[in-house]
Amino acid sequence: MNIPNSSQVKPGIKLVLSCDLGGSQVKAIAQIYPDGIPCVLAMSPEIADVSIDSINSFSVQTFQNISTWVGVGDEYYVLGTIAKEVFAGSAALRDNKYHYAIPKIAGILSMAYQKFGINHNHVDVFIQILLPPGEVNDARNLTTSLKQILKLGVLTPNGRLKGKLRNFCVAAEGSGILTYRSRTLGKTYIQKNVGILMLGYRNASFALSAQGNPAKSESTDLGMSWVINSFVERTAVGLSKNDSRLVTAILAAAKGNFDAFRPLSRKATPEGVQFDLNLFQKVLPSIRDEYCRALVRWIRNIAVLDEILICGGTAEYVKKELTDHFHKEATPIVWNGGVQFPAPLDTKGLGERVADVWTAHITYILMLDKNFAYDRKQDLVPDPNKPRPSIPTSGLAQLREYAKKREAEQPLNS
């Protein structure tokens, strides 16, 4: 049933969580509704299924900020850095993101409970997750399972976590930024074909808005992992695809600095290390060229555009090539959809990588405001050093009118 106002929900903490179950990092915006200041939660994407005995071998203090574990039913999972370093956990890039959605959501919830000091079970939980377009419909089937799990309780390092799932919303990656852009353009948005290209670690996703209407969406495996896999296989000098330092080294090499590859070489002599560096310098440019060609080829076959929004952690790696391509096509690029992530919230140093989940969170909060008949008077992230602006800088003013239109399309379910 719909919840038109807060009188239908018993008093208690309302926790809102917007999650991006990314292939390089799990990112989330958490907030105590309605007036709590949002915060960023993040952990590495690795997950490992383990036994209760393995869990008991660690202290509670071990799982702080960057890792956690959860007990969901009879299954136990370690998530984050410890999953990778101790249990050989993987980011499960071959699986759909929703496959491990429940333990990852439970892990982020555990971190949110700890962050906000929630130590009781009278919590109403509102969850939004972003997934590639091809996985959205399957993930909606998670609602019933999540309700049951939160009712029974999830075991965590800080005890049994319980809550009542009041709403579970699944949105396509890029939807937050597209919505933000629609409000920025105003009436001209419905006169354009606007595409959004999301370049992540696991995959690349594209969505098209044709004259204001969702037209098509596609995903491909052309994420940064494609570059990593090709580089490791072609160099064949014992590098590991799971070594997180590879991404940093490849990004540095794109700017002409190959020194970050030195610690990755497994050679025992300076001559051997130099041999590897020479090999890396020879192989990487051709791999990058092949990746860019494949990406452009894929985009060219999707749609003719008036404007393209480009975002995601991998976008910076191929920024020049994409700029050159769309310049030739006379297609304007709006990097990150013009979104400016509030600096006070950037406690994890993720910057533009949280642009999509941040704008999706804004839209979700506005939907809740409408359903609870809450008249929001100030910005989500108020600046204590400045007087309150008449137009909130977080994008709330730009999106409030949009939220009114979408409220009927996304009612809350109890």
Min mean pLDDT across 22-26, 48-52, 292-296 is at 22-26
Distance CA 385, CA 391 (A): 16
- Structure confidence at residue 396 (pLDDT): 56
**Mean pLDDT score, 68-96:** 85
| Identity of the highest mean pLDDT range in 128-137, 156-165, 346-355 | 156-165
Burial of 259 (C-beta count, 10 Å sphere; 0-12/13-18/19+) = exposed
Q: Give CA separation, 157 vs 62, 70, 89, 233, 333, in Å.
A: 9, 8, 19, 39, 45
Burial of 317 (C-beta count, 10 Å sphere; 0-12/13-18/19+) = buried
In 188-338 the beta strands, taken as DSSP E runs, fall at: 193-199, 204-210, 213-220, 307-311, 333-335
What is the phi-psi region of residue 201: left when phi exceeds 0, alpha when psi lies from -120 to 50, beta otherwise? alpha
pLDDT above 70 (res 266): yes
Distance CA 290, CA 230 (A): 10
Min mean pLDDT across 194-203, 248-257, 332-341, 399-408 is at 399-408
Listed residue (288, 281, 233, 289) closest to 261, CA to CA: 281
User: Do 20 and 28 contact (CB within 8 A), yes or no?
Assistant: yes
Min mean pLDDT across 61-65, 70-74, 309-313, 403-407 is at 403-407
Distance CA 162, CA 160 (A): 6
Neighbours of 243 (CB within 10 A): 14
Distance CA 344, CA 352 (A): 14
pLDDT above 70 (res 272): yes
| Block residue for tokens 């038109």 | 4
pLDDT above 60 (res 411): no
| Identity of the highest mean pLDDT range in 61-70, 294-303, 351-360 | 351-360
- Structure confidence at residue 88 (pLDDT): 86
What are the pLDDT digits (tens) for 220-259?
Answer: 889 999 999 999 999 999 998 888 789 889 999 988 888 8
What are the pLDDT digits (tens) for 279-332?
Answer: 999 999 999 999 999 998 888 887 788 999 999 888 888 999 899 999 998 999
**Sheet containing 159-161, strands listed edge to edge, beginning at the edge strand earlier in sequence:** 47-50, 75-80, 67-72, 154-156, 159-161
> Which distant-in-sequence residues (6+ apart) come within 8 Å of 1 by Cβ?
413, 414
Which pTM value belongs to this model?
0.83
User: Do 108 and 17 contact (CB within 8 A), yes or no?
Assistant: yes
What are the pLDDT digits (tens) for 71-80?
Answer: 998 899 999 8
Dig out the tokens for 409 from the structure.
């399309």
**Mean pLDDT score, 373-398:** 61
User: Do 356 and 305 contact (CB within 8 A), yes or no?
Assistant: no
Dig out the tokens for 164 from the structure.
């009542």
pLDDT above 50 (res 390): no
